[in-house]
């Protein structure tokens, strides 16, 4: 019997593949580089990847591309040269990016030739000794990509070139480092590794030599170029490297080219390697591995074959990512436009509620001079949902005064203002949610025929639905009577109504109070002393006559809104500021009216923006402005409880009566009786010519 012992079967050393990870910031930076500098130039680009030793027993680290992975200048300078060193979690590795201009070019790339080209560079660096000076060259990588900057989508494919050992390396032994070293050696190796990692000069050097003295078990870590100094019979020598892999039975991908260097430069056939891994930033000997490998390299001096294309879910295929949500210019515009508002919260207005502003829906009745100014200012406050209602078209005289229109809008018959205004807003800020409604607002004092009733009532319903679906309504129409129905509907629905009106050199901006029936419905839980029981008045509360036809038999200067050009920007801005004040006030629409003489500056303890007036009246001829307060009138033809209740009870028939019969609203609210009573008073004046009986008051 042959009593020769059989040698254990040879096990091929298998390496855990390295995986890639691309931060969104890389694609952001690359998009700018492509658009601003590269253009159609598809020359290879030097980039830098980053990796670190495994730091978790169940998760491997990836090679990552960051925004700083790209060159920092437009010249041919390698990104590796401009990358800062000394970060323990970011060991830089040189790479090359091949970006194509079309998806067809991406598909047709000769991937095998590209891989071989990069592998040749690694082999040349080994032969020349350059890899000993800069060991990160052993992990050189490449990326091919196609950037669709129209859709903000990217296709990419990583390759980590690895020189193929022929025959393959054999694994003799592999065990946790804690089992290979003695306790004294493990302690010394850990201390040496921690010192190596803590030094800014060596923390990102991923390949190194570990020598352990057999006399005192002291471990020393050296650079690869110090190989000669590590020779001696009195010490163990291990080839260490930062292992991104977490697997307990496989070393990581960087070991492949490391073994090729060891066999080629030092002609070793048996190698002890040290897979350095960490836990919580310190060397972990139970997670790290020590193995023995048997390697043979062909005596042929030609470049070895190479492998290394990364698999995508187990298949040889590229990966793709869409960053439309984060990289689309519209989304970037939103972030940029919100910057001013967010900076307000830093110091000036810490309590500013931006969510309220971004969610409010505003209805602008009138898309003329005032409507244009209001819309622009609303967007400045971060209000994104704006609806225009207007029946007019852009005339040749409009663009110079109405900031949303251009000459093209009035060519031919002219574009409807409601439509042109929406188009302009989207050009200014694509993220705005805006719509335009072309319709006329039914008005009292403008009788209609029976044939028009259906159309007019349809407009009434449409206007009511619009008001009820929005949070705030701006009354910006040219005539007084066109504001009556919106005022009534706002009072009925208890909506915030902001009114702005212009004279030749004067303006009036006001907010309407809450609806009359809302006091009992919505204010039961409010502090009455704080809110004030008396409602604020609306635009019509001071009138002693019902709205009437102000358009018939008017000269040209009376038909047009003839005002000094500076009025609309002032009034439009004040109208928006008034709305924002209401939205930021804890009582909202129920907030009492302040004026400039209010004690302690008015509601400054309740509203972060200062006082919240009811009315603002100004004159540019005097360069003056005052704040006024007016309470709701029980005889108001628009917001009184009598009128609102009548509207709720009769609906369309009430609206038709108000439109067709000029005195209907006066009769309903008691204004007719009030005027009769006023006319019945007889005032007797004594005509006394005796000046001596005059009394000074």
- Residue 59 C-beta-side C-alpha neighbours within 13 Å: 6
What are the φ/ψ torsions at residue 21 (nearest 5 degrees)?
A: -150, 130
Q: Could you give the 3-state DSSP secondary structure of residue 544? A: coil
- Closest by alpha carbon to 23, among 247, 273, 326? 326
Q: Could you give the 3-state DSSP secondary structure of residue 453? A: helix
DSSP state of 288: S
Angle at 691 between CA 685 and CA 695, to 5 degrees: 75
DSSP code string of 140-159: -EEEEEEEETTTTEEEEEEE
171, 242, 248, 290, 538 from 273: Cα distances, Å:
11, 11, 14, 6, 86
DSSP code string of 391-411: --B--TTSTTTSTT--HHHHS
Tell me the pairing of strands 20-22 and 207-213.
unpaired
59 CB burial (10 A radius; 0-12, 13-18, 19+) = exposed
Residue carrying the six token digits 């012992």: 5
83, 332, 349 from 28: Cα distances, Å:
18, 11, 32
Can 337 be counted among the known catalytic residues? no
As a whole number of angstroms, the distance between CA 141 and CA 308 comes to: 9
671, 675, 676, 678 from 681: Cα distances, Å:
16, 10, 9, 6
CB 143 within 8 A of CB 236: no
15, 117, 240, 412, 535 from 259: Cα distances, Å:
12, 20, 11, 79, 87
Tell me the pairing of strands 361-365 and 385-390.
parallel
Active-site choice (337, 560, 636, 639): 560
Catalytic residues: 560
């Amino acid at each position: 019997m042959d009593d020769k012992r059989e040698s254990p079967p040879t096990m091929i050393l298998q390496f855990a593949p390295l995986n890639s990870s691309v931060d969104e910031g890389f694609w952001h930076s690359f998009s700018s580089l492509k658009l601003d500098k590269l253009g159609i130039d598809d020359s290879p680009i030097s980039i830098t990847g980053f990796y670190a030793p495994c730091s978790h027993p169940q998760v491997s680290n990836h090679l990552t591309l960051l925004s700083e992975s790209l060159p920092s200048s437009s010249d041919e300078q390698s990104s590796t040269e401009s990358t800062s060193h000394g970060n323990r979690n970011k060991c830089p590795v040189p790479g090359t990016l091949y970006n194509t201009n079309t998806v067809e070019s991406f598909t047709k790339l000769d991937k095998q030739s590209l891989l071989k080209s990069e592998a040749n560079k690694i082999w040349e660096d080994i032969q020349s000794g350059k890899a000993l000076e800069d060991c990160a060259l052993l992990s050189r990588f490449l990326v091919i990509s196609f950037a669709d900057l129209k859709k903000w989508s990217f296709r990419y494919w990583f390759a980590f070139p690895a020189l193929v050992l022929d025959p393959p390396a054999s694994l003799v032994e592999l065990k946790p480092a804690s089992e290979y070293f003695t306790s004294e050696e493990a302690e010394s190796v850990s201390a040496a590794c921690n010192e190596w990692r803590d030094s800014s000069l060596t923390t990102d050097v991923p390949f190194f030599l570990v020598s352990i003295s057999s006399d005192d078990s002291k471990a020393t870590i050296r650079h690869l170029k110090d190989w000669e100094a590590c020779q001696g019979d009195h010490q163990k020598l291990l080839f260490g490297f930062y292992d991104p892999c977490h697997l307990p039975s496989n070393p990581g991908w960087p070991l492949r080219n490391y073994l090729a260097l060891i066999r080629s430069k030092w002609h070793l056939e048996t190698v002890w390697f040290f897979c350095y891994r960490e836990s919580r930033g310190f060397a972990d000997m139970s997670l790290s591995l020590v193995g023995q490998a048997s390697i043979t390299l062909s005596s042929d001096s030609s470049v070895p074959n190479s492998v290394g294309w990364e698999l995508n879910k187990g298949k040889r295929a590229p990966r793709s990512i869409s960053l439309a949500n984060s990289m689309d210019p519209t989304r970037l515009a939103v972030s940029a436009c919100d910057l001013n508002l967010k900076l307000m919260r830093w110091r000036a207005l810490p309590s500013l509620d931006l969510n309220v502003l971004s969610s409010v829906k505003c209805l602008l009745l009138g898309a003329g001079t005032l409507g244009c100014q209001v819309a622009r200012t609303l967007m400045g406050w971060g209000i994104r949902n704006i609806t225009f209602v207007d029946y007019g078209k852009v005339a040749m005289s409009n663009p110079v005064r109405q900031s949303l229109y251009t000459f093209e809008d009035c060519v031919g018959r002219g574009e409807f203002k409601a439509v042109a205004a929406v188009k302009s807003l989207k050009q200014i800020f694509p993220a705005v949610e805006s719509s335009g409604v072309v319709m006329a607002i039914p008005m009292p004092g403008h009788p209609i025929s029976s044939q028009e009733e259906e159309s007019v009532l349809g407009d009434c319903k449409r206007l009511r639905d619009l008001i009820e679906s929005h949070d705030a309504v701006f009354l910006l129409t040219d005539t007084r009577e066109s504001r009556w129905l919106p005022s009534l509907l706002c009072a009925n629905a208890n909506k915030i109504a902001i009114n702005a009106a212009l004279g030749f050199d004067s303006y009036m901006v006001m907010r309407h109070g809450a609806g009359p029936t809302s006091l009992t419905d919505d204010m039961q839980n409010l502090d009455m002393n704080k809110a004030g029981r008396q409602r604020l008045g609306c635009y019509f509360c001071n009138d002693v006559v019902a709205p009437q036809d102000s358009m018939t038999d008017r000269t040209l200067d009376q038909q047009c809104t003839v005002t000094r050009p500076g009025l609309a920007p002032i009034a439009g801005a004040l109208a928006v500021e008034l709305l924002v004040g209401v939205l930021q006030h804890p009582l909202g629409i129920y907030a009492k009216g302040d004026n400039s003489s209010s004690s302690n500056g008015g509601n400054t303890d309740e509203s972060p923006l200062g006082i919240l007036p009811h009315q603002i009246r100004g004159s540019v001829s005097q360069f003056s402005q005052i704040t006024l307060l007016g309470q709701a009138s029980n005889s108001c033809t628009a917001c009184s409880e009598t009128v609102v209740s009548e509207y709720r009870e009769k609906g369309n028939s009430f609206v038709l009566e108000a439109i067709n019969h000029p005195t209907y609203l006066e009769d309903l609210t008691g204004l007719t009786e009030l005027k009769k009573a006023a006319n019945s008073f007889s005032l007797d004046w004594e005509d006394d010519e005796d000046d001596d009986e005059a009394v000074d008051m």
